[in-house]
């Protein structure tokens, strides 16, 4: 009986040790899962914040490209030269064709990017395809035919090289679809034509983490030397007031002013 009793006690201790090992393993697995979830959550939040930051910077880069390009539009006496592709901005980084390497290492082809907004494909657009009425381009013969006007790295906006912006921007110009002359390569010269003296600017910016933003702008010539600028989005009450008065936003030879947007 004495030997049996000792054997029974020893077996109980072994079972308790086994149960403790199982509990320890389960606790370790639980803590590991919690730690992994915390790491994933932190990583995801960091990526979301980074993507939002890049997206906002891309929008500002596209907006800055418009501001930079407007200066050159002011120097073009005949807008038909822009619409035909014969005259471009001074802000270019080479020939209006070929590949450009973006700051994130990806490549964009200028011709393919132009074809995508003109007819929705990478290959060359035919006249029939550009005149086809679609949901995105419902104006038929008056569909805009975008021409490359300005393109280059956004950190080359100013000659001092002090801009730190890792984005590549392209600005296209096209005839306003309200122009009823059925010729998107020429600006209408009929005073009764609502699209006369009006062109479109489309700016796109690409950057890190797939950031890509687009801004479209209409430019209206108010007289022989001045233009009026109108963004498709809200641009601040001051500019809206000037547009209502039909006043020029900018005159040739003057520096572009900056509007500070506030919460109000």
Helices assigned H by DSSP within 120-166:
127-131
CA distance 206 to 249: 28
201 vs 236, residue with greater confidence? 201
Question: Which two structure tokens, joined as six digits, stand for 216?
Answer: 């479209």
Question: Which two structure tokens, joined as six digits, stand for 104?
Answer: 């994130």
Q: Are strands 198-206 and 212-221 parallel, antiparallel or unpaired?
A: antiparallel
CA distance 31 to 37: 10
* pLDDT at res. 181: 85
CA distance 18 to 23: 9
Render pLDDT for 129-146 as a digit per residue (tens, 0 to 9).
Answer: 999 999 889 999 999 999
CA distance 258 to 249: 11
Q: Which of 190, 186, 164 is nearest to 176 (CA)?
A: 186
Render pLDDT for 238-261 as a digit per residue (tens, 0 to 9).
Answer: 444 444 444 433 333 334 444 444
Q: Which of 173, 184, 174 is nearest to 140 (CA)?
A: 184
Residues 148/175/67/57 CA torsion (nearest 10 deg)? -70
């Amino acid at each position: 009986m004495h030997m049996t009793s000792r054997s029974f006690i020893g077996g109980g201790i072994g079972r308790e040790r086994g149960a403790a090992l199982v509990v320890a393993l389960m606790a370790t697995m639980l803590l590991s899962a919690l730690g992994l979830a915390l790491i994933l959550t932190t990583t995801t939040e960091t990526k979301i914040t980074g993507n939002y930051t890049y997206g906002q910077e891309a929008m500002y880069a596209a907006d800055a490209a418009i501001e930079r390009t407007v200066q050159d539009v002011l120097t073009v006496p005949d807008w038909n030269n822009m619409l035909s592709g014969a005259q471009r901005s001074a802000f270019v980084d080479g020939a209006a064709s070929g590949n450009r390497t973006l700051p994130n290492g990806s490549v964009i082809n200028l011709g393919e990017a132009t074809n995508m907004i003109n007819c929705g494909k990478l290959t060359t657009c035919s006249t029939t395809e550009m005149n086809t009425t679609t949901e995105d381009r419902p104006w038929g013969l008056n569909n805009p035919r975008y021409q490359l006007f300005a393109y280059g790295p956004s950190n080359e906006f100013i000659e001092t090289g002090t801009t730190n912006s890792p984005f590549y921007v392209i600005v296209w110009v096209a005839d306003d679809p309200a122009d009823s002359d059925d010729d998107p390569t020429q600006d209408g010269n009929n005073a009764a034509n609502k699209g006369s003296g009006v062109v479109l600017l489309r700016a796109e910016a690409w950057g890190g983490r797939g950031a890509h933003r687009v801004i479209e702008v209409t430019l209206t010539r108010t007289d022989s030397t001045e233009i009026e600028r109108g963004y498709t989005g809200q641009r601040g009450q001051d500019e809206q007031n000037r547009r209502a008065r039909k006043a020029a936003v900018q005159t040739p030879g003057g520096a572009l002013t900056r509007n500070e947007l506030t919460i109000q």
